[in-house]
Structures are given as structure tokens and as C-alpha cells.
Amino acid sequence: MSNKNKGLCSVNLMHCVLVIVFSIEVVNSLTDPEIIPRSQWYAKPPKSIQPMENPVPYVVIHHSYMPPACYNLEDCIGAMQWMQDLHQINNSWVDIGYSFAVGSDGRAYEGRGWSRVGAHAPHFNNKSIGICVIGDWREYLPPEQQLATVHQLIQMGVREGKIAQDYRLVGHKQVRYGTACPGNKLYDEIKTWTNFYNCSPDTVPELRTEAAPKEAAVSEATPSNDTPSDDKPSDDPPSDDKPSDDQPSDDVDAENRLRKRAPSVVY
């Protein structure tokens, strides 16, 4: 009898422990990620802002390719500043292109945030959250905590009504011709995620109907905006993430419109 009780007791104890461990797991997966706001990575102000309606129906996953993965706050702040300079100065965009970036340190970094039109995937910029998984993920998978933060960020967006419940998750190359972004390893990973949306540039209507006229409009409106593609390192994979490929026509058009409306841009 006492033996039997002991047995029951330890089973119960085990059960308790399992329940507690399980609860912690569930709570963790619902935890908001640590988000480093713009002020904490010393972001420059955007040259202009275009508001975006929420919730958005798409989440677009990118890798940075360059800069490489960052594993601590200091390096990730450096990566954010590098990307903002590349996008704002070299590319003449209004701001860093992504909505958010996520470091291998497991932190999320605020880019344009939830409710501003981004510059990361033409034709999808005004209806998606663009998340850059900082690093080159063609051959290696990002560390577990980096992937976990991407999940948490998306879940947070859904919970807060920024991202539609039935959102479509895509990799950049599914909505853009000629890019290998977000890298094969990361792409294979996100294929297994909830809400992954199986599409390709050939099947998304946005590219079929808008590609040609938009590109013409950009080259006409912004003759000096081309980032010299010759500058890219020779080991750059074909069209992989080179800045000019990400030239978001929406962003440039918006910037030109704003310039016309308000010659002196107020930050």
C-alpha cells in the first residue's frame, strides 16, 4: 500500500513537472520578442513616411546576405546602421527598407515597424511586413534563437492586429524575379512554417500585371537612383540581394511624390 502510494506520488510529481515545463514552453512561445527600437540603434530619421494599413496579409522573409550574421547587441546595432546607410545613402531610399530585422543574438530590431510602407519587395511593400534575418543563409541555417524570434515577432504582429490571422508567409524570391533571397537553407526552413504560402513570381498576379509599367516608371522618374550593380563583389550570387534589385518602385514613387508636395522634408 505504501509502495503503491509512493508510486502514485512520483507519477503525480512527474506529471506536475511535465505540466510546468509544458506551460513554460507555451508561455514562451507567446512571449513578445525583445524589440530594439530605432532610438536604441541610433537610427537616422526617415526622409519621409508612408503609413501602411494593418492588418497586412503578407509576411516576406529576407536575409541580409551582407552584412553577415551578428551575435551581440553591439554588432547587430552596427548591422542595422550599415543597412540603413546602404538603403538611405547608396540606394537613395527614404529609410532602411525592412519592417524589422532579427539578429542571431535573438533580438528583433525595429526598421520601419508595423505600420509604415517598407522597401523590400516591390508590389508587396504596402501589404506586408518584411523581416530581414540578418546574415547569409544560403548554406547555413540561422541559430535556433534567431528563428524563434522571427516566429515570436510574427505571432506578436498577429496578436496585435498588425498581421492578418490568415497571413501568407513567403520568401523574398517567391515574389521577386532574379533573387536567391532569403538563401536556400532559410528558404527550406520557412517552407515548413505555419502559413507558408506556396507561390512563385510566375504565379503571383502582382508581378504579372505590374512589373513592366512600374519598372519603366522608375527609370523615367529616377534617372540617378540606380545603384551601380558593378560595385557588387564578384562572389555575389546572380542578383542575390544586390541593392538595385531591391529598388522598390513603390518607395521611389512615394518619395518623388513627397518631394514634389513638400520640397523641404520635415523629419
Ligand X SMILES: *[C@@H]1O[C@H](CO)[C@@H](O)[C@H](O)[C@H]1NC(C)=O
Q: 23 or 90: whose CB is closer to ligand X?
A: 90
170 binds ligand X (CB under 6 A): no
Within residues 34-53, the interface with ligand X by CB under 6 A covers 53
Question: In the complex, what is the shortest distance from the CB of residue 150 to ligand X, in angstroms, rounded to a whole number?
Answer: 23
Least Cβ distance, residue 23 to ligand X (angstroms)? 39
Q: Which of 231, 257, 259, 262 binds ligand X (CB under 6 A)?
A: 231
Residue 256 lies near ligand X (rule: CB under 6 A)? no
Among 40, 92, 115, 126, binds ligand X (CB under 6 A): 126
How far apart, in whole angstroms, are the C-alpha atoms of residue 108 and residue 131?
9
Nearer to ligand X (CB atom), residue 173 or residue 242: 242
- For residue 91, the minimal CB distance to ligand X (Å) is 9
Work out how close the CB of 242 gets to ligand X at its nearest, in angstroms, rounded to a whole number.
9
Can residue 127 be called a binding residue for ligand X (CB under 6 A)? yes
For β-strands 163-171 and 56-63, DSSP reports them as parallel
Is residue 215 within the footprint of ligand X (CB under 6 A)? no
Smallest separation, CB 10 to ligand X (Å): 58
Q: How far is CA 218 from CA 71, 93, 117, in A?
A: 37, 13, 17
All 3 cell numbers of residue 184? 536556400
State which amino acid sits at residue 47.
K
Sketch the per residue contact string, 74 through 93, with ligand X: x for CB under 6 A, - otherwise: ------------x---x---
Task: Pick between residue 10 and residue 90 the one whose CB is nearest to ligand X.
Answer: 90
Could you tell me the smallest distance in angstroms from the CB atom of residue 231 to ligand X? Answer: 5
Which residues sit at the interface with ligand X, rule CB under 6 A? 53, 86, 90, 126-127, 231
